């Protein structure tokens, strides 16, 4: 045996001894390692491991394993581990994480290792203003953030080289509760940095990174955190540092708070600061993905790098940087496109503009549809479109809408030639599918289904699943949801100091056998959460039908400045005072990923009734599919391309009227009619065994036709093929 082999042998032996070491410190250390990478959050066995350490505390700490471990000492943990015989589970989870993170595993055994080679040493830099990864990391507000979280988890699973850049909000988005009148109250809580799975990011020299950004009115500083999300490093910029003014220290405290000036400063930190952070980390990206216009300043800083590093002219640098830049637009709603006036732009981009050797008018022109039009403000979406070679919308219908919306940017082109394609959104299956459903698939699809989430053929195996077993699994999930909702409702009553009778009523609210319809999302007014109320008396009849009752679960936050959205919440929440709806139409406060997960896993039907065509994609309905729920939706966003007549329900036929009031009135009637004519009869039509065979066939068809197509894995594969690889200089392939 050579000395080297002997040494290796020794190392291996030492490792083996370490593995079985059960000292409290060793166990505690392994649990801390697991808690330090958000990989645990999409592995139900690992979640269960933390929960089993102390189920009560687990709930109290909002499912945060770092906080949980801080509340126990190593001896207590060891005691519990031996009581519950958890040692093997801990070691297994720890070993799986280590293997998952190893380089050889990624390059040899992942899709990205084989298909994203050109990105190997030059990863994608993915920018987003919010990331929704888990409820214990509150740096998201809604669909955009959850999509970003699902995108990076998908990239991690596929082994696609990618780093993500965002902002760290120490107060995040608000916690919601309703006052006695049903009016939304917002509360901002400080997140304890030490309880999050992140550390200061360090540069090649091992020192923590701080970036500085010059403005006309002073220099902004931001430190950089590293959060680990499986194989993906998420870098979060944070302005709470010494050297910033007290006001600037709070710049990144809250998500989507503050005025226009706060907003442009946040976006400056995200875009320009983000690119500086990447440089300080020693990373050279092969492609830049601007997820939404918030980060559209980023290419300007990359252009500066190229001009100063490689001596390029502004025009040449712009051309090269645009070639590497991918831009995704997310909404046709005008308020969703940030605009800034000339003074704000000059104050914040002035120093950078001088380094780019361009005039103020030239800079403003990049953010205007008509560059010379001084009446036009600076639009981040326009900037994103002009500074990227590849741009996309987030569903097929949204692609059409976006091409029409931005056609005037390319006046010489016909609409079909407007260079905006589409890549439809998808959801990260392991994060949204309930554990019992996974176990059912383990039994029925074979153990390797998890490695083939984007493979439509694999999902066809669902046709072989026993209908009774699928229905039973769904029913168990529905019971779990109703338990969760009752617990939340009684807590809401107690917080409002209501009497014991009310708390008791909340504990027995809802009927486990009734058709249960869920609606949860941001309460933006175009999503029309209140649409069903236009048919209030008819809906009351459905809710009170003694044979075939229907019940509704609502949840969602309105933006603090959106009085319209808040009034929707109030109307719906106050239905609890109407005897026709009490205990049958309920509002669950403080919508977040946790509430969302429970709802999508347990409802029979997911209701989606936006004003077409304003829902660019929508993703919550995709999460429902995985758990056997059926969609009942306006033909907007993803549903316009997903619905095939057998995999769910369509409200209306996709027509819209120029007058919103008429559209709303029509859609309300169509919603009611769809429920009465299709959804309710199908759900209550039972065979001799009490099974709704037709309904179950629809659940099966929904999973078979939609799970793969609307998965984050399919989405990330599309981005790699159509955007990232060509942007990084690999072979091009056309976007739809």
Ligand X SMILES: *Cc1c(COP(=O)(O)O)cnc(C)c1O
Helix residue spans in 387-455 (DSSP H) = 396-405, 429-432, 435-445
Give yes or no for residue 611 binding ligand X (CB under 6 A).
no
User: What is the nearest approach in angstroms of ligand X to the Cβ of residue 567?
Assistant: 19
Give yes or no for residue 146 binding ligand X (CB under 6 A).
yes
User: Which residues ranging from 573 to 592 are in contact with ligand X (CB under 6 A)?
Assistant: 592
Cβ closest to ligand X, residue 143 vs residue 426: 143
CA 476 from chain centre, in angstroms, equals 26
Cα-based angle 554, 555, 558 (whole degrees, multiple of 5): 125
From candidates 291, 619, 631, 663, binder to ligand X by CB under 6 A: 619
User: What is the nearest approach in angstroms of ligand X to the Cβ of residue 146?
Assistant: 4
Cβ closest to ligand X, residue 543 vs residue 635: 635
Q: In this chain, which stretch among 107-115, 255-263, 465-473, 615-623 interacts with ligand X, using CB under 6 A?
A: 615-623
User: What is the nearest approach in angstroms of ligand X to the Cβ of residue 194?
Assistant: 25
Give yes or no for residue 488 binding ligand X (CB under 6 A).
no
SS3 200: strand
Give yes or no for residue 672 binding ligand X (CB under 6 A).
no
Cβ closest to ligand X, residue 152 vs residue 226: 152
Number of residues in contact with ligand X under rule CB under 6 A: 11
User: What is the nearest approach in angstroms of ligand X to the Cβ of residue 320?
Assistant: 35
User: What is the nearest approach in angstroms of ligand X to the Cβ of residue 184?
Assistant: 16
Give yes or no for residue 112 binding ligand X (CB under 6 A).
no
From candidates 470, 593, 650, 712, binder to ligand X by CB under 6 A: 593
Contacts of 440 (CB under 8 A, 6+ apart): 465, 469, 470, 473
Q: What are phi and psi of 367, to 5 degrees?
A: -105, 10
Cβ closest to ligand X, residue 135 vs residue 214: 135
CA dihedral 596, 600, 601, 602 (to 10 degrees): 110
Cβ closest to ligand X, residue 28 vs residue 710: 710
From candidates 390, 488, 521, 566, binder to ligand X by CB under 6 A: 521
User: What is the nearest approach in angstroms of ligand X to the Cβ of residue 599?
Assistant: 9
User: What is the nearest approach in angstroms of ligand X to the Cβ of residue 608?
Assistant: 7
Q: At what angle do helices 44-53 and 435-445 cross, to 10 degrees?
A: 140
User: Which residues ranging from 203 to 262 are in contact with ligand X (CB under 6 A)?
Assistant: none
Rounded CA separation 723/731 (Å):
10
Q: In this chain, which stretch among 10-18, 81-89, 543-551, 612-620 interacts with ligand X, using CB under 6 A?
A: 612-620
User: Which residues ranging from 397 to 436 are in contact with ligand X (CB under 6 A)?
Assistant: none
Q: At what angle do helices 342-355 and 298-310 cross, to 10 degrees?
A: 20
Residues 723/326, Cβ–Cβ less than 8 Å: yes
From candidates 138, 596, 652, 726, binder to ligand X by CB under 6 A: 596
Cβ closest to ligand X, residue 558 vs residue 593: 593
User: Which residues ranging from 304 to 363 are in contact with ligand X (CB under 6 A)?
Assistant: none
Cβ closest to ligand X, residue 264 vs residue 599: 599
Residues 356/300, Cβ–Cβ less than 8 Å: yes
Find out whether the peptide bond into 688 is cis, omega within 30 degrees of 0. Answer: no
User: What is the nearest approach in angstroms of ligand X to the Cβ of residue 624?
Assistant: 9
Cβ closest to ligand X, residue 170 vs residue 592: 592
Rounded CA separation 392/390 (Å):
7
Burial 502-517 (b: 16+ CB within 10 A, else e): bbebbeebbeeebbbb
The DSSP bridge partners found for residue 236 are: 166, 225
Rounded CA separation 348/364 (Å):
12
Residues 137/38, Cβ–Cβ less than 8 Å: yes
Cβ closest to ligand X, residue 304 vs residue 597: 597
Q: At what angle do helices 87-101 and 44-53 cross, to 10 degrees?
A: 140
Give yes or no for residue 620 binding ligand X (CB under 6 A).
yes
User: What is the nearest approach in angstroms of ligand X to the Cβ of residue 698?
Assistant: 20
Contacts of 638 (CB under 8 A, 6+ apart): 395, 424, 425, 617, 618, 619, 621, 622, 710
Cβ closest to ligand X, residue 521 vs residue 584: 521
Residue-by-residue DSSP string for 290-337: EESGGGTTHHHHHHHHHHHHH---HHHHHHHHHHTEEEE-----GGGS
Cβ closest to ligand X, residue 376 vs residue 615: 615
Give yes or no for residue 618 binding ligand X (CB under 6 A).
yes
Q: Which helix (H) or strand (E) holds 392?
A: strand 390-393
User: What is the nearest approach in angstroms of ligand X to the Cβ of residue 672?
Assistant: 21
From candidates 36, 138, 143, 692, binder to ligand X by CB under 6 A: 143
Give yes or no for residue 142 binding ligand X (CB under 6 A).
yes
Cβ closest to ligand X, residue 285 vs residue 618: 618
Residues 328/394, Cβ–Cβ less than 8 Å: yes
Rounded CA separation 127/270 (Å):
8
Q: In this chain, which stretch among 117-125, 140-148, 268-276, 698-706 interacts with ligand X, using CB under 6 A?
A: 140-148
> Under the rule (CB under 6 A), what is the footprint of ligand X?
142-143, 146, 521, 592-593, 596, 618-620, 623
């Amino acid at each position: 045996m050579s000395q080297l082999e002997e040494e290796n042998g020794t190392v291996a032996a030492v490792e083996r001894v370490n593995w079985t070491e059960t000292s409290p410190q060793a166990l505690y250390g392994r649990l801390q390692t697991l808690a330090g990478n958000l990989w645990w959050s999409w592995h139900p066995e690992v979640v269960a491991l933390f929960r089993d350490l102390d189920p009560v505390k687990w709930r109290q700490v909002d499912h945060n394993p770092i906080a949980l471990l801080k509340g126990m000492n190593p001896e207590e943990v060891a005691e519990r581990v031996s009581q519950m015989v958890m040692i093997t589970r801990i070691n297994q989870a720890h070993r799986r994480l280590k293997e998952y993170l190893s380089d050889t595993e990624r390059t040899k055994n992942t899709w990205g290792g084989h298909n994203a080679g050109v990105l190997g040493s030059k990863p994608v830099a993915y920018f987003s203003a919010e990331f929704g990864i888990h409820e214990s990391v509150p740096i998201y507000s809604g669909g955009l953030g959850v999509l970003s979280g699902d995108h990076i988890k998908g990239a991690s699973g596929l082994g696609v080289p990618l780093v993500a850049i965002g902002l760290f909000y120490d107060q995040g988005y608000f916690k919601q509760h309703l006052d006695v009148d049903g009016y939304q109250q917002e509360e901002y809580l400080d997140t304890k940095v030490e309880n999050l799975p992140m550390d200061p990011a360090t540069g090649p020299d091992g020192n923590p990174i701080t970036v500085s950004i010059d403005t006309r009115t002073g220099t902004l500083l931001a430190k950089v955190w590293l959060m680990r999300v499986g194989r993906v490093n998420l870098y979060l910029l944070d302005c709470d540092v010494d050297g910033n003014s007290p006001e600037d220290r709070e710049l990144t405290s809250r998500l989507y708070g503050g005025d226009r000036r706060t907003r442009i400063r946040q976006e400056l930190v995200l875009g320009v600061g983000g690119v500086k952070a990447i440089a300080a980390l020693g990373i050279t990206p092969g492609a830049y993905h601007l997820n939404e216009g918030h980060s559209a300043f980023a290419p300007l800083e990359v252009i500066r790098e190229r001009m100063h590093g490689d001596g390029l002219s502004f025009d040449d640098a712009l051309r090269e940087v645009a070639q590497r830049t991918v831009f995704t637009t997310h909404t046709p709603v005008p308020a969703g496109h940030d605009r800034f006036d000339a003074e704000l732009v000059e104050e914040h981009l002035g120093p950078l503009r001088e380094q780019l050797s361009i005039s103020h008018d030239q800079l403003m022109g990049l953010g205007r549809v008509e560059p010379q039009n001084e009446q036009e403000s600076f639009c981040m979406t326009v900037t994103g479109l002009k500074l990227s070679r590849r741009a996309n919308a987030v569903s097929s219908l949204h692609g059409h809408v976006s091409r029409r919306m931005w056609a005037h940017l390319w006046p010489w082109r016909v609409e079909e030639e407007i260079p905006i394609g589409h890549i439809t959104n998808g959801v990260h299956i392991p994060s949204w599918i309930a554990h019992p459903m996974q176990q059912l698939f383990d039994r029925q699809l074979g153990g390797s289904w998890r490695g083939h989430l984007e493979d439509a053929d694999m999902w066809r195996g669902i046709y072989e699943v026993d209908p009774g077993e699928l229905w039973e699994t769904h029913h168990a999930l529905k019971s779990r949801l109703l338990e969760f909702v009752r617990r939340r409702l009684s807590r809401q009553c107690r917080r409002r100091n209501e009497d014991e009778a009310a708390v008791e009523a909340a504990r027995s609210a809802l009927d486990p056998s009734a058709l249960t319809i869920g609606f949860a999302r941001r309460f933006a007014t175009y999503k029309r959460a209140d649409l069903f109320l236009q048919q209030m008396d008819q809906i009351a009849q459905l809710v009170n039908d003694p044979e075939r009752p229907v019940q509704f679960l609502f949840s969602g936050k309105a933006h603090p400045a959106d009085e319209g959205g808040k009034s929707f919440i109030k109307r719906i929440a106050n239905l609890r005072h109407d005897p026709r709806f009490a205990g049958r139409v309920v509002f669950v406060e403080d919508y977040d990923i946790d509430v969302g997960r429970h709802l999508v896993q347990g409802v029979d039907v997911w209701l989606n009734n936006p004003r077409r065509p304003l829902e660019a994609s929508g993703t919550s309905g995709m999460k429902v599919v995985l758990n056997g729920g059926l969609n009942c939706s306006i033909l907007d966003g993803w549903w316009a391309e997903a619905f095939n007549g057998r995999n769910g329900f369509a409200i209306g036929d996709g027509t819209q009227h120029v007058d919103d009031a008429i559209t709303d009135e029509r859609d309300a009637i169509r919603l009611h009619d769809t429920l009465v004519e299709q959804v309710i009869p199908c759900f209550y039509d039972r065979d001799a065994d009490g099974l709704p065979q037709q309904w179950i066939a629809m659940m099966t068809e929904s999973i078979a036709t939609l799970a793969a197509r609307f998965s984050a894995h399919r989405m990330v594969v599309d981005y790699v093929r159509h955007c990232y690889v060509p942007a990084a200089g690999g072979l091009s392939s056309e976007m739809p």
